[in-house]
Amino acid sequence: MGFPYVRLRRLRMKEGLRRMIRETRLSKDNLVYPVFVRPGENIKVEIKSMPGCYQLSIDKAVDECKGVYDLGIPAVILFGIPEYKDPYGSGAYADNGIIQRTIERIKKSIPDLVLIADVCLCEYTDHGHCGIIKNGIVDNDSTIEILAREALSYAKAGVDMVAPSDMMDGRIKKIREKLDSKGFSTVPIMAYSAKYSSSFYGPFREAAESAPSFGDRKSYQMDFCNSREAIREIELDIEEGADIVMVKPALCYLDIIAKVRERFDLPIAAYNVSGEYAMVMAAIEKGWLDKDMIIYEMLTSIKRAGADMIITYFAKDIVDILNNIDG
C-alpha cells in the first residue's frame, strides 16, 4: 500500500513526534575530548589552524579536564609534546615523560575521568615518523617493541586505556602481551585499526608538532582508496587482543564505519579529526554554516554510521547543543 494512504510526513509534523521515533540518539556519553599537553607551567597556546583548541601545560591540562568532566564528558585522550626529541622517541616511555606526569596529576584531581593515552612515536621522534628509522624506512619490528614499552609506562602511571595509533603490523599483540605480563591485564586497548593516510591530519601535526621531516606515512597508514583492507586490519587487531577498534578519519569514511559495524560486535570508535574540525570552523567563522546545527548533524551522522565512541574537538560544544535540544 502506498500513497495516498501511506504518508511518511505524518510523523514529521511535530517536534514531539520526531523525537519519539528518532532512530539515532547522540549522547555526551559517546564523546572523547582530545587534549594536547606541553612542557612548562601556566601555558595555554591556541593552535592557529584549530581555533578554540590549545596546547596546555600540565596544570592547565588538569583544569581543562576538570571542565570536561563537569560537562559530563566521560573521557579524554592525551597527546604529548616532549621537552626533547631523539631518533628513538625515548620521551614517549620515560618515567617522567610529559604524558606520564599528566596522567598522575589528572588521576589525583579527577579520578573518575577516563584517561586514554595515544601510543605513538611521531610526537617524540626528531624525524616525526611513527617508528624507528632503519635504512631510510620505518622499521616495523623494532618499533613495536618501543610501542609496547610506551604503553606499559602509561599503564604504570595509571592510565585507564591505551590507544596505539602507529599502524605497525603486530603492535596490538605485542602491547597486549607486555601489559598482561606486567600485571596490567585489565587495561584495555583501543586500536587505531583502520587509520587512513589522509590530508585531514594537517592541523593535528601543528598541534602535536609531529609533521614528518622527510617523506610521508603512506607506507604504514592505509590507502584511502581501499575499503576491504580495513576489514582485514580490524580482523587482525581483534585477533591480537584489541578491545575497541577505530576508524580514522570519520567524515569521508562513514562507509567504512558502517561496514565495520555490520561485520563486528566490538565497540567502534571514530576520530572526527583536526582537518574536519578546521574545515567546519572556517565555514562557521565565515557565517556560511549554522554552528550548532552543523556540529549536531555531523556528529550524529558518525553515530548513525555505527560509531559507539566519537573522538572530537567539538565535544564541549555538542554537550551544550544537546542540552538545548533536550531542554
SS3 119: strand
Catalytic residue among 60, 85, 178, 248: 248
Hey, where are the domains in the chain?
Answer: 23-326
Note if 195 is an active site residue: yes
The percent of the chain in helix, strand and coil, each rounded to the nearest 5, is 45, 20, 35
Q: Distance between CA 47 and CA 53 in Å, rounded? A: 6
Query: Dihedral of the CA atoms 14, 15, 18, 19 (nearest 10)?
Result: -140
Report pLDDT for 281: 96
Catalytic residue among 195, 218, 259, 291: 195
Report pLDDT for 128: 81
Taking domain 23-326, whether its CATH number is 3.20.20.70 is answered by: yes
Q: What is the pLDDT of residues 113-132, one digit of tens each?
A: 999 999 999 989 989 888 99
Report pLDDT for 277: 96
Whose CA is closest to 26, among 295, 305, 322, 323?
A: 322
Note if 248 is an active site residue: yes
Whose CA is closest to 116, among 148, 152, 76?
A: 76
pTM of structure = 0.94
